[in-house]
Structure 1
Amino acid sequence: MAIITAKSESHVQVTIQCAKVAHIQVRIRSGGHDYEGLSYVSDVPFVVLDMFPLNAIDVDIASGTTWVQAGATFGQLYYQIAKKSNVHAFPAGVCFSLGTGGHFSGGGYGNLMRKYGLSVDNIIDAKLVNAMGDILDRRSMGEDLFWAIRGGGGASFGVIVAWKIKLVPVPPQVTVFRVKKSVAQDATDVAYKWQLVAPKLDKNIFIRVQPDVVNGTVIVSFIGEFLGTIERLVPLVNKAFPELALLPTPQEPPTIYAKSKSDYVKTPIPKEAMKKIWDLMIKVNNTRMQWNPYGGVMEEISASATPFPHRAGNLFLIQYRVFWTEDSAMVTNRFIKDSRSFYEFMAPYVSSSPR
């Protein structure tokens, strides 16, 4: 197996041509957001064509269109759209790490599907490298092939290097909600009614059901998104689905402040010291630690191999973090003081250099 990271369309062309001559299969990776890992497996010799460097995004608000290369993720795409407009969006998935190339090729559903359909319903052009190494757009590939790549698995027909998508209008304010019901709170009855109600709701409302096992029982979450204000949402849902009992409780997006520090540990922390650390964490309350193990290759690389010298001799790296939500100097100073106190408390158990 070999991995090719394409940095230009010509790299894609050459990869296909060479693979054809060598009689090896090409497996295409866009974002790699694939539960089965199909980009990395094959029954025959293959090469992975990784598209991640091809992630250019050209948002044109005037025309309401965007060209997005197949290696871009939806986090990147949504960010670029939001930079230019708060009343434009694109109907697709909610995972920011999801790659556009594979998602579009498979159809592409998301929270806006009831309003605007799937991603493929809003794709108006594409660039594809075929088995001969030619670059085709919608006109040159023909409508049959253009139809096939929008939901038929793009890799079945060639390597799609870019998509032209049609942006959709959204209001400047959207509303989201989450209602949880346990089995004891009639979750079964409410979930059953959801099956009857949800497909018939106003198309601006999208409600997902998510059952989970929590502490030995099933909790069903009803997770909703509405293209509009809370004042419009509540009466709509309460009329059609009163079991959710939505209340107008607007909330501002939470702002979290934090202070972080780190240390290296070269000798094991004694159990008695750990108990003291736990006690201090409980006392400080809003604190968290992460212990990241060293060893392995980190033990084998010389301290002078790179400008980063912290290699052999370290058991693990500790990260400390205190966090708070109040926007006041008094609260900030208190948590900064707590952070420094915690850091000093750890001094006997961590490396003195660096510190």
Structure 2
Amino acid sequence: MGNKVFSSYHRPSAPTSGSGDLAAAASMDRWTGVVHVPLSRGGPLFRVAASLVLSPAKTLAVPRANAILFTGDRVRGTGDPVIERLSDAAHIARVLAGKLCGETNAWVVDAACFAGPFAVYRELVPSVNTAGDPKGYDPTGFSAATGVANIFAHSVAEIQNKFLGFSSKDATVNQHPAASLSSYCPPRTIILGFSKGGVVANQLVTELSCWASESMKNFVDVSQPNPSHSSHNLLVPTSASDVLSSISEFHYVDVGLNCAGAYITDQAMIKKIGDYVLHTGQNLRFVLHGTPRQWFDPNRSWIRKEKDIMLQLLRDEAKRCDGRLLVYEKMYFEGTPRSLLMHFEILEVMDIS
């Protein structure tokens, strides 16, 4: 199982349009802008850029999927306009939206806290140290899944109330009259971790493995929509279990750390993921995207070793999952000297189809 894709190096062309960091533009079919939301009252603010599908009534339309990308460390003062542009969450949201089908929402999240240039996702990955590096991944409390649900919910409320002039309740009623709730299918969730943002993807894999195992022991049908959707916001998952049950894809985008832990290498954890796929009968897709910048770094050889281990564990599990567990490895800029530029350009050239 699995597929390796190679692409030749090229420099992406400059974007044809751009807007200020705080600008929110409502086009014919999308709202694009930036909000700052906490996970809880008084907590640190996450900067969330979004490109969201609009209905004909200019409310937020119910998407087929929500794709959420977590960014990495800050890079400033390079003097390279491409790196500067691809360091901005608002620009990344527009790029990501362009890669998705028209009915998918794109979300890009920066860490709420930084230690100098280092992203610290402590609210989502409690095990990280002061520099944001993980000491391990612990599913206790489902911190990442809960955090993702809160980021979605608070962002949607802010956008609807402040920018679009609709309350969450009004928008939900307009989009899903009571008669259609019985046939409602929750949007899928696509997780992307870029660079250090891969720690959030790892935390979610860890939580999915644990949650699925517990659900199967308790004979919970995790393949069915949560009935709470009939009274909650239908645009996004609204709880940790809703987030985890809706995940259909994990994309690791040139992830890397200055320590171990860039990829999941726990065989038992990956086996639970395989069991979950077999139990639900739903497809789950893992795509590992990389460049020589991370995978061929002689000073951090553990990154490629961890990637190879995770890839093999997933491929082994895929063999018993009747084609439900899909695993791909995609290499970009092969044969090109390692550079910081390619690390960011992968965001423009990566194939997530």
TM-score in same-fold range (> 0.5): no
The structure in which a higher percent of residues are strand is 1
TM-score (norm 1): 0.23
Q: With CA pairs under 8 Å and 6+ residues apart, which has the higher RCO, 1 or 2? A: 2
